[in-house]
Amino acid sequence: AKASQPYRTSYHFQPPKNWMNDPNGPMYYKGVYHLFYQHNPYAAVAGNISWAHSISYNLIDWMHLDNAINPTKPYDINGCWSGSATILPGVKKPIILYTGDNFKNQQVQNLAVPKNMSDPLLREWVKSGRNPVMTPGNGIDPMMYRDPTTAWRGSDKIWRVIIGGQINGHGTAILYKSKDFVNWIRSKNPLHSSNKTGMWECPDFYPVSSRGKKGLDSSFKGRDTKHVLKASFGDHDYYVIGNYESKMDRYSADVDFMDSIVQLRYDYGMFYASKSFYDSHKKRRILWGWVTEADSKSDDINKGWSGIQSIPRTILLDKTGKQLVQWPIKELEKLRARQVSLHNIEIKGGTVFEISGITASQADVEVLFELPRFKDQIELMDTKSVDPQQLCSQKNASVRGVLGPFGLLVLASNDLTEQTAIFFRIFKGYDKFVVLMCSDQSRSSLKRDVDKKIFGAFVDVDPSQKISLRTLIDRSTVESFGGKGKACITARVYPELAIDNKSHLYAFNYGTRSVRISRLRAWSMKKAQIVEFHEGRKPL
């Protein structure tokens, strides 16, 4: 690997080297957070997939342990693929369900348990003698049958789990039930499916509270809950919100997958194969997602690594009940160091100004924009037929408007040759004003051979109120939360000039109307301690 590593993240989770994809089996168990992940121990490209294992006491600082599960058996010899952990109540033991790519390249589901329950870090895992515990057949394509979820228990005390698949061309959450977690019986009907999508990878299924700010355990039963079903397909993580009734295992989505023009996604940038878990310690649900590289495979080989995890995010149901809101876990704030603040500053139309005094390549920025009074004299949009990503691509950061584009220029060189723009733009839609949020990577790097796709999302906020933006800048990662977490966009960028202390941060407004920053706070971020475990190493 290269000696100089301007793109290696400093507070987003990464393995010491080589390839990483999906987060697996995240859990909180007896004071320790565990994260497993899809890992190639030998190269910075996909292959030889095993379960790597890291532990943490605060979800920010991590210790890498030895692999937990390696491809060693006929039922997983071609790869130990994604899966989940469930903590069995009563005995309070964790158990992992994962997909094996078997000797015939068929996908089967397997169990693994800790070898030694008295090891607080659960370093060694053993595979069940009963593996595989679920196999394809009966209309299931053995190449499209993977990624078991965390299991949940109905009021009948029976365990349920879903497996991602495709049946008759439809994306499907295949349902299994078990009394003992070992003998699993496929239910006649899937939990849910869609004739508008293909294969579902990495499904996730969990309750959210429609009152209050607490997360819920996967098996929680009670009033005032909705259930979220997430599926990964077409490069994105889509979710629906609906009602689940465990007696009949009936799930109905309020608005189903692909049934509206604007789809609900966890993130409108790069974020895939995510998984959530219930943190019983802090009573919250936390989401992890895989963020891939946007540079070339040969760049990855040269760097010696590929793939990061998003900042863990707490997820809650929004007040409207129509979408989720996500926010970086509170613990991240402990990395905040030097701070700059601005109050009540007008940014005139067509201007840019620098926010100096922090390390702009490694920062956390929170800003609140306040718009002038406006009525009809702004850009119009046909909201019924518009894809926000396309709109952001057409009206990128250099295209002047009326109210917007305004926002931040991050990882920017001092002459702005390189810049990544995260911005808003306000439109008058059919029956209301619409807030568009964009992350424009098109000028992010002088390098060729980098994917500089522009991302976009609508943010369901009222533009007569203040509009908030939080952006986490981490060397090659720009993870943004608009409207207090109503729309998230994660991007990967590889500047050549704007690296380390040559990186700058600006606020800009290329609309004709001026806007106000009612408050801006920006912090340099310290590096998280992400280290390799060895015997005798002091706990973090």
Q: Which residues bind ligand FRU (CB under 6 A)?
A: 21-22, 38, 49, 81-82, 99, 146-147, 201-202, 273
Nearer to ligand FRU, 86 or 362 (CB): 86
Active site residue 22: yes
Question: Which residues lie closer than 8 Å to 68 by C-beta, 6 or more apart?
Answer: 36, 51, 52, 53, 96, 112, 123, 124, 125
* Residue 352 CA: distances (Å) to CA of 358, 427, 500, 534: 17, 22, 21, 49
Nearer to ligand FRU, 184 or 200 (CB): 200
Nearer to ligand FRU, 38 or 106 (CB): 38
Residue 200 contacts residue 172 (beta carbons within 8 Å): yes
Each as own residue / partner, the long-range contacts of residues 242-248 (CB below 8 Å, 24 or more positions apart, any chain) are 244/205, 244/207, 246/152, 246/154, 246/155, 246/156, 246/160, 246/221, 247/154, 247/155, 247/156
What is the DSSP pairing of strand 455-459 with strand 530-532? Answer: unpaired
Which tokens in the block code for residue 373?
A: 């009074």
Q: Give CA–CA dist 76/102, Å, rounded.
A: 5
Minimum CB–partner distance for residue 108 and ligand FRU (Å):
12
Alpha-carbon torsion (49, 490, 438, 429), positive or negative: positive
Minimum CB–partner distance for residue 110 and ligand FRU (Å):
12
| Residue closest to ligand FRU when measured from CB atoms | 81
Nearer to ligand FRU, 48 or 514 (CB): 48
Nearer to ligand FRU, 165 or 207 (CB): 165
Minimum CB–partner distance for residue 224 and ligand FRU (Å):
33
Residue 137 DSSP code: B
DSSP H helix total and E strand total for the chain? 2, 37
Smallest CA-to-CA distance from 276 within 267, 265, 289 is with 289
H-only helix segments in 323-476? 388-394
Minimum CB–partner distance for residue 447 and ligand FRU (Å):
26
Q: Give CA–CA dist 21/232, Å, rounded.
A: 13
Nearer to ligand FRU, 147 or 249 (CB): 147
Q: What is the 3-state secondary structure (H, E, C) of 8-64?
A: CCCCCCCCCCEEEEEEEEEEEECCEEEEEEEEECCCCCCCCCEEEEEEECCCCCEEE
Minimum CB–partner distance for residue 46 and ligand FRU (Å):
7
Question: Tell me, what amino acid is at 479?
Answer: E
Minimum CB–partner distance for residue 441 and ligand FRU (Å):
22
Q: Give CA–CA dist 324/241, Å, rounded.
A: 9
Q: Give CA–CA dist 287/60, Å, rounded.
A: 14
Residue 251 contacts residue 243 (beta carbons within 8 Å): yes
Nearer to ligand FRU, 307 or 405 (CB): 307
Minimum CB–partner distance for residue 275 and ligand FRU (Å):
11
Nearer to ligand FRU, 81 or 205 (CB): 81
Q: Phi/psi zone of residue 441: left (φ > 0), alpha (ψ -120 to 50 degrees), beta?
A: alpha
Catalytic residue, candidates 22, 237, 249, 267: 22
Question: Tell me, what amino acid is at 291?
Answer: V
Which tokens in the block code for residue 328?
A: 């970086």
Q: Which of the residues are catalytic?
A: 22
